[in-house]
């Protein structure tokens, strides 16, 4: 099989799984924590992932069976091998006819850039395409190179001396001085500036006196909660992980309901899942009966972070809201699907709600890094109360440890029971909500 055929077969199976899932490129990319254009290139055969992990996560999101997972891995191996041969060809062609200087070693390839301006995408990618064969830059005389390096080193040392804080360092961060820098290197994920964090005062967290948390705005339609770890000099250091929170995900449209303090004439038709956040905000809706929260947890550096546990905290509990109940699914349209891995349930009516893994699924701890994220699905249900709640994620990395608060843009999640509430549904192809009890 040729290299091109191997890549084409791999992309063909990816497209088949994606089309069968019924999910859009945008939805899949969001759940995989990659860009939509990257996913397009994978499915079109323009690029082959350099790592199999994102391929497996995509397949599982699309409900691939065991045999399909094995076949997908086989095709990825062939496509990856073909991609490697193509990448080597331009390099060899460029060296053809270039005489080597005797006794002079090859110049090392430049290190890839890192920092706030670098691409923080966790899924590496190599685009299959023609290279710039045979192009070689002008050689700079070695004395000039050495002089330039010396100047850069001196300037870097001076800048570091100016920025060093007074008062010592955090003993828990010994040997991990780069953690705070890496954590700030992806401001588009956490909303946090790439500059060094400054001391600030905040209300004490009910979870722990050793850590505090502050939510930060995330991408459109999502929230990203972040926190800070106290340091010995009274300042704060960014935690070595990020959490992207989707508080209005749907396990399936048929299971998702919302309570709204409006009559059916004043409520817009059911939205798509991707538009649920805007729809909920516009109607000041509250999750009815259950709430499905998706968490994408990723390390902010190469060092692994251990996720030790997830704790439920109840902020408020009252009688269920006396509002109307609106179903997101359409009558007569089938719903269903397998329970994804890393799924947990929370019984909010319990005196001490706890995060419990679904049957057959493993429990904490888990491990994440910048190239190996985890996605968790939390289904919280309530019937006897209206509950305000949030989550606390305990983590450790080397000598550092802390607790990260996870909520809805600084507010607790809100889930209310819906027993005996007037229920409405929107018929497929209809123009208005109708009473579910009177539907024939």
Give CA–CA dist 356/137, Å, rounded: 59
Residues 298 and 429 in one domain: yes
Q: Are residues 67 and 216 in the same domain?
A: no
Give the integer Cα–Cα distance in Å for 54 and 50: 9
Q: Which of 47, 74, 93 is the last residue of a domain?
A: 93
State percent of the chain over pLDDT 90.
35
Instruction: Tell whether 403 and 280 lie within a shared domain.
Output: yes
Evaluate if residue 319 carries a pLDDT over 90.
Answer: yes
Of 265 and 29, the one with more pLDDT: 265
User: Is the per-residue pLDDT at 136 higher than 90?
Assistant: no
Domain-terminating residue out of 77, 93, 109: 93
- State residue 85's pLDDT score: 58
Length of the chain, in residues: 440
- 282 in any annotated domain: yes
What is the tens place of the pLDDT at every residue in 69-123? 888 888 888 888 876 555 555 544 444 444 444 444 444 444 444 444 434 344 4
Average pLDDT, stretch 25-42?
84
Burial grade of 406 (CB within 10 A; 0-12, 13-18, 19 or more): buried
| CATH classification at residue 23 | 1.10.260.40
Q: How many domains does the chain have?
A: 2
Identify whether 161 is part of a domain: no
pLDDT at 386 over 80: yes
The answer to whether residue 264 sits within a structural domain is yes
Co-location of 235 and 89 in the same domain? no
Last residue of a domain, one of 93, 111, 145: 93
Per-residue CA distances from 92 to 105, 106, 135, 160, 260 (Å): 17, 14, 11, 41, 66
Give pLDDT, residue 82.
76
**80 and 219 assigned to the same domain:** no
pLDDT of residue 275: 92
Is 60 exceeded by the pLDDT of residue 432?
Answer: yes
In a domain, 262, yes or no: yes
235 and 88 within one domain: no
Do residue 213 and residue 71 come from a single domain? no
CA 415, CA 247: separation in Å to the nearest integer? 11
Kindly state whether residue 328 falls inside one of the protein's structural domains. yes
Domain membership flag for residue 347: yes
Distance, in Å, from the CA atom of 216 to the CA atom of 187, rounded to the nearest integer, reads: 10
Q: Give the residue-averaged pLDDT of 416-439.
A: 87
- Confirm whether 270 is domain-assigned: yes
pLDDT of residue 236: 61
DSSP state of 93: H
Q: Which domain holds residue 49?
A: 3-93
Read off the tokens for 54. Answer: 């994102």
Is residue 125 in some structural domain?
Answer: no
The H or E element containing residue 23 is none
Residue with tokens 């998706």: 294
Provide the mean pLDDT of the chain. 72
Please compute the mean of the pLDDT values over residues 127-145 and round it to a whole number: 44
Tell me what the mean pLDDT of segment 28-55 comes to.
Answer: 85
Mean pLDDT of 220-243: 56
């Amino acid at each position: 099989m040729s290299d091109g055929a191997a890549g084409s077969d791999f992309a063909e199976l990816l497209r088949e799984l994606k089309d069968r899932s019924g999910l859009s490129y945008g939805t899949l990319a969001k759940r995989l924590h990659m860009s939509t254009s990257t996913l397009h290139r994978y499915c079109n055969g323009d690029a082959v992932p350099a790592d199999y992990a994102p391929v497996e996560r995509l397949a599982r999101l699309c409900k691939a069976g065991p045999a399909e997972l094995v076949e997908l891995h086989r095709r990825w191996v062939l496509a990856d091998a073909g991609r490697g041969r193509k990448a080597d060809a331009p390099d060899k062609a460029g060296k053809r006819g270039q005489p080597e200087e005797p006794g002079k070693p090859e110049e090392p390839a430049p290190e890839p850039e890192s920092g706030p301006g670098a691409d923080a995408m966790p899924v590496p990618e190599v685009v299959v395409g023609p290279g710039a064969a045979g192009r070689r830059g002008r050689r700079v005389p070695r004395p000039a190179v050495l002089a330039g390096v010396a100047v850069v080193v001196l300037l870097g040392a001076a800048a570091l001396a100016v920025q060093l804080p007074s008062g010592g360092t955090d003993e828990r961060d010994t040997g991990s001085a780069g953690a705070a820098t890496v954590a700030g290197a992806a401001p588009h994920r956490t909303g946090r500036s790439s500059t060094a964090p400054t001391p600030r005062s905040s209300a004490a967290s009910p979870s722990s006196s050793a850590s505090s948390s502050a939510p930060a705005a995330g991408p459109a339609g999502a929230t990203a909660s972040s926190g800070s770890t106290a340091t010995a000099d009274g300042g704060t250091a960014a935690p070595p992980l990020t959490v992207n929170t989707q508080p209005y995900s749907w396990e399936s449209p048929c299971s998702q309901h919302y309570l709204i303090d409006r009559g059916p004439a004043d409520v817009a038709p059911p939205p798509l899942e991707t538009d649920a956040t805007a729809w909920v905000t516009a109607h000041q809706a509250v999750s009815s009966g259950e709430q499905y929260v998706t968490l994408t947890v990723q390390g902010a550096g190469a060092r692994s972070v251990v996720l030790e546990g997830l704790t439920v905290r109840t902020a408020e509990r009252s009688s269920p809201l006396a509002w109307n109940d609106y179903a997101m699914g359409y009558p007569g349209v089938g719903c269903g699907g397998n329970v994804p891995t890393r799924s947990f349930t929370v019984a909010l009516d319990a005196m001490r709600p706890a995060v419990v893994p679904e049957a057959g699924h493993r429990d904490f701890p888990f491990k994440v890094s910048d190239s190996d994220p985890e996605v968790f699905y939390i289904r919280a249900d309530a019937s006897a109360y209206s509950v305000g709640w949030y989550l606390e994620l305990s983590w450790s990395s080397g000598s550092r440890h802390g607790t990260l608060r996870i909520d809805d843009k600084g507010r607790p999640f809100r889930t209310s029971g819906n027993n005996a509430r007037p229920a409405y549904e929107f018929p497929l192809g209809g123009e208005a909500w109708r009473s579910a009890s009177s539907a024939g």
